[in-house]
Amino acid sequence: DKGAYPYYMLKEIDEQPAVMRRIQGKYLDNNEPKFDAKLIKQLTDATKLYIVGAGTSYHAGLVGKKLFEKLAKTPTEVVVASEFAYDDPIIEDGAMFIFLSQSGETADSRQVLVRATNEWKVPTLTITNVDNSTLAREADNAVTLEAGPEIAVASTKAYTAQIAVEVLLATAVGRIKDITAAKEIDLNEQFSQTANAMQVVVDEKDQIQKIAEDNLAKTRNAFYIGRGLDYNVALEASLKLKEISYIQAEGFAAGELKHGTIALIEKGTPVIGIITQAATADNTRSNLQEVLSRGANVINIVREGLAKDGDQIIIPSVDEIMMPLVSVVVGQLMAYYATLLRGYNVDQPRNLAKSVTVE
Ligand code: F6R
């Protein structure tokens, strides 16, 4: 039931702070991640992780790679399910596969699971929002997202829930492996702060609506750019925008623009920069400057602490590795309002189904 909400998507965007608290309540105990012991042992023993997903779940996997490498120091590869399913990969001894799937029914991901189980004979984990789904049943381990039913075709709270669970799993492994970053992160504090930061963003939706009105009402195309985790979010924010508003939107690594894509920038092209990582903030700012001088309408999403005069959307700071959970909410709302403006059905975009059970 969407209650007073005009669309499920807006309801699901608004629910994200509560989902963070639910995940905190279920998977954190005394500031320690709490998962099945056998699962954590398999993950800790793994010398290589593969994260498999499609669409938005693939994008959550891109963030997961950075989390597992930073917090657990486990080399991690992220793969697009439909591609990997028919590749001839060299699977190392000690590999483990993690499947990210909101529905747990995606045929492309299942095809990889079948090979992981029968051919490569590696341990498997499915992280899903649907308890008894095919991928949950067929993997060695299953972890549920606790996001609650996601009805809108465009995935929002499942993406942030996937990242939150990845943070906890990576920290659990990292602490066993004695990795400093995992020992130092105060999970309770970070989850509370993240929920609060998301709340600030959803409470400021009017500002995002206004920016969407000024920049996305008529445009044919739009770009999101960022570096590192901000690039990962740029990909997700642009997928949201294209799938519901039908604006041709692309996410680019900010540093790659000048290697070709910048040729697409015309007067008035919206370019949205995401800046939440201190190490790359200045570089992304110069890349935004380059497109500004070619006539782009530049909008930036900047975390507090890195913000400067003239920045448009300032979002609260949490630990940098958790910033995708906050910045993506801006992208979700931007897509939502762009779609309303253009008069399309937010929850039921054309040509798309909520769960894709064909390859
Ligand atoms: C985008 C979206 C899709 C799904 C993809 C995978 O908003 O919803 O890209 O993320 O079809 O679906 P799941 O996660 O159910 O495997």
Residue-wise pLDDT tens digits, 15-49: 999 999 999 999 999 999 999 999 999 999 999 99
Picking from 326, 273, 284, 304, the residue whose alpha carbon sits closest to that of residue 63 is 326
Among 103, 332, 350, the mutation site with the greatest number of ligand 1 atoms within 8 A of its Cβ is 103
Alpha carbon of 310 to ligand 1 centroid (Å): 35
Residue-wise pLDDT tens digits, 146-161: 999 999 999 999 999 9
| ipTM topping 0.95 | yes
Res 1: pLDDT? 86
Residue 230 CB less than 6 A away from ligand 1 = no
d(CA 326, CA 297): 23
Helix (H, G, I), strand (E, B) or coil at 268: coil
Residues paired with 253 in a beta bridge: 226
Helix (H, G, I), strand (E, B) or coil at 100: strand
Unique residue bearing structure tokens 């789904």:
133
- The average pLDDT across 82-102 equals 97
Percent of residues, the chain, with pLDDT higher than 90: 97
Residue 80 CB less than 6 A away from ligand 1 = no
Alpha carbon of 267 to ligand 1 centroid (Å): 33
- The average pLDDT across 291-307 equals 97
Residue-wise pLDDT tens digits, 319-359: 999 999 999 999 999 999 999 999 999 999 989 988 899 89
Q: What is the DSSP string of 286-331?
A: HHHHHHHTTT-EEEEEEETTT--TT-SEEE----GGGTHHHHHHHH
Write out the two tokens for 106: 């995606």
Residue 349 CB less than 6 A away from ligand 1 = no
Name the closest-CA residue to atom 6, ligand 1: 54
Residue 101 CB less than 6 A away from ligand 1 = yes
Residue-wise pLDDT tens digits, 99-114: 999 999 999 999 999 9
Residue-wise pLDDT tens digits, 133-190: 999 999 999 999 999 999 999 999 999 999 999 999 999 999 999 999 999 999 999 9
101 — phi, psi (to 5°)?
A: -155, 115
**What is the average pLDDT value for the chain, to the nearest integer?**
97
Q: Is the pLDDT of residue 263 over 90?
A: yes
Torsion (CA) 179, 184, 189, 191 in degrees, nearest 10:
-20
Q: Is the pLDDT of residue 64 over 90?
A: yes
Q: What is the DSSP string of 51-78?
A: EEE-HHHHHHHHHHHHHHHHHS---EEE
Sign of CA dihedral 351, 352, 358, 359: positive
- Which entry of 2, 70, 73, 354 is annotated as an active-site residue? 354
Res 262: pLDDT? 93
Alpha carbon of 53 to ligand 1 centroid (Å): 8
Percent of residues, the chain, with pLDDT higher than 70: 100
Q: What is the DSSP string of 30-41?
A: TTEE---HHHHH
Q: Is the pLDDT of residue 63 over 90?
A: yes
In degrees, rounded to 5, the angle at the alpha carbon of residue 339 between the alpha carbons of residues 337 and 344 is: 140
Residue 261 CB less than 6 A away from ligand 1 = no
Q: Is 354 a catalytic residue?
A: yes
Name the closest-CA residue to atom 7, ligand 1: 154
Residue 82 CB less than 6 A away from ligand 1 = no
pTM over 0.95: yes
Among 133, 138, 155, the mutation site with the greatest number of ligand 1 atoms within 8 A of its Cβ is 155
Which 8-state DSSP code applies to residue 346? S
